[in-house]
């Protein structure tokens, strides 16, 4: 997509990284600013758009054969039904684990992704990478993030599917849900949906690759470094395009994952869930809730990426300024010491 990217491959990356032993240490490129910025974006988008996420989950697990899951005719019907039967709080069921999950996931993802990407670049953030390297960094980041956050997503799904506001809730909150699931189902219960979740790592890989390539091509067109800060509308446009492409390509795995995490219906693993969904619902079954998902995930991605880019640029600029001030102070101290140092006596 970019002239510069076409010359960047594994061989070129290896040549750059080979220059310094420090560049072999991936932790040397870890910056907490990326985590803080990612958490900020994830929390902001979740608080605004959680009701749409709840509706998406209820659509996704509705196989037409489970009486415990309510039936909705559409997005508008779901909103009014939930509000009428469960009140405003019903629209925010599961928001606590969603905030924790989304905040921690985006924070970890952005931190891992930028650490791995900078490591591949050999510390030179202006060095363009090709699509393959962007996908590799994103896939590795996604796998690490999922390993750490899957239990939170299981709890979020269970809480979102507590549909009856009048009966005693099976789970009283996030901590209670974590404890109950572990007590009744063990560690495997907390990692339900992990296999399709790993398949879903491709979603983040496609999205980040598309997003990075769009930014790189745009900055290349303007003859600017690839890490140049963009305008708000540009971030929003690139985030929306990348999310639409990734969502269309990988949505079926999200349906399978949500159904595996739902406790109202039991499947004998991922393959059994896929077979039953195909048998009883056909291809449309794998795209249930897509409308609600797109209505939520595209704006959520736009909010998350916009907040992330602005917060990270602000924090990294402050880090750079602080480093420059420190270096100037150090140099000034050295110069002052040299001026105060008495001249050495000369030998006759």
DSSP 347: P
Of 5-19, 84-98, 140-154, where does mean pLDDT reach its minimum? Answer: 5-19
* pLDDT tier at 111, thresholds 50, 70, 90: very high
Rounding to the nearest 10 degrees, give the CA dihedral for residues 218, 142, 32, 237.
Answer: 30
* pLDDT of the residue at 23: 54
Q: Is the pLDDT of residue 314 over 90?
A: yes
Q: What average pLDDT does the structure give for the chain?
A: 82
pLDDT level of residue 334 (50, 70, 90 thresholds): low
Read off the pLDDT band of 340 (50, 70, 90).
low
12-21, 89-98, 105-114, 149-158: which is most confident: 105-114
What is the share, in percent, of the chain residues with pLDDT greater than 70? 83
Question: For position 312, what pLDDT does the model report?
Answer: 94
Name the more confident of 337 and 252.
252
12: pLDDT strictly greater than 50: no
For the entire predicted model, the pTM comes to 0.72
pLDDT at position 206 is 94
Span 235-287, pLDDT tens digits = 999 999 999 999 888 888 888 888 887 766 778 888 999 999 999 999 988 88
How is 114-165 classified by DSSP, letter by letter?
HHHHHHHTTT-TTS---HHHHHHHHHHHHHHHHHHHHHHHHHHHHHHT---S
Alpha helices in the chain (DSSP H): 10-17, 32-61, 75-91, 95-120, 131-160, 174-190, 194-199, 201-221, 232-261, 270-281, 290-340
Which residue, among 97, 71, 99, 75, has the nearest Cα to 163 in the 3D structure?
71
Those residues whose C-beta lies under 8 Å from the C-beta of residue 305, and which sit 6 or more positions away, are 41, 211, 235, 236, 238, 239
Which residues have CB under 8 Å from 211's CB, separation 6+?
Answer: 238, 239, 242, 305
**What are the structural domains, with CATH classification, of the chain?**
29-314 (1.50.40.10)
What mean pLDDT is predicted for residues 15-39?
Answer: 73
Confidence label for 13 from pLDDT (cuts 50, 70 and 90): very low
- Which range of 114-128, 137-151, 292-306, 313-327 scores highest in mean pLDDT? It is 137-151
**What pLDDT digit, counting tens, does each position of 162-218 carry?**
765 544 557 888 888 899 999 999 999 999 888 878 877 888 999 999 999 999 999
CA–CA gap between residue 56 and residue 216 (Å, rounded): 33
pLDDT band at 338 (very low <50, low <70, confident <90, very high): low
């Amino acid at each position: 997509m970019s002239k510069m990217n076409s010359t960047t491959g594994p061989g070129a990356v290896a040549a750059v990284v080979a220059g310094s032993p420090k560049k072999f240490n991936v932790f040397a490129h870890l910056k907490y600013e990326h985590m803080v910025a990612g958490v900020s974006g994830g929390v902001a988008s979740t608080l605004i758009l959680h009701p749409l996420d709840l509706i998406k989950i209820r659509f996704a697990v509705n196989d037409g054969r489970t009486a415990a899951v309510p039936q909705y005719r559409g997005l508008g019907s779901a909103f009014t039904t939930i509000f009428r039967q469960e009140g405003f709080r019903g629209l925010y069921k599961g928001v606590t684990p969603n905030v924790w999950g989304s905040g921690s996931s985006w924070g970890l993802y952005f931190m891992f992704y930028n650490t791995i990407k900078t490591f591949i670049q050999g510390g030179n953030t202006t060095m363009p990478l090709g699509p393959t390297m962007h996908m590799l960094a994103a896939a590795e980041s996604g796998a690490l993030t999922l390993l750490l956050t899957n239990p939170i997503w299981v709890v979020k799904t269970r809480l979102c599917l507590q549909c009856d506001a009048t009966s005693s809730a099976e789970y009283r909150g996030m901590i209670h849900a974590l404890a109950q699931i572990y007590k009744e189902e063990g560690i495997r219960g907390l990692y339900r949906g992990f296999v399709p979740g790993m398949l879903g790592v491709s979603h983040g890989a496609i999205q980040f690759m598309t997003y990075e390539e769009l930014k790189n091509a745009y900055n290349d067109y303007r003859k600017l470094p690839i890490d140049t800060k963009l305008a708000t509308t540009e971030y929003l446009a690139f985030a929306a395009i990348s999310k639409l492409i990734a969502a269309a390509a990988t949505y079926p795995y999200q349906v399978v994952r949500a159904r595996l995490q739902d406790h109202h219906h039991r499947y004998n693993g991922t393959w059994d869930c896929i077979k039953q969904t195909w048998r009883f619902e056909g291809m449309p079954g794998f795209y249930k809730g897509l409308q609600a998902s797109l209505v939520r995930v595209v704006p959520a991605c736009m909010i998350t990426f916009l907040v992330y880019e602005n917060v990270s640029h602000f924090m990294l600029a402050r880090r750079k300024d602080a480093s420059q001030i420190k270096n100037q102070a150090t140099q000034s101290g050295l110069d002052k010491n040299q001026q105060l140092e008495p001249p050495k006596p000369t030998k006759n």
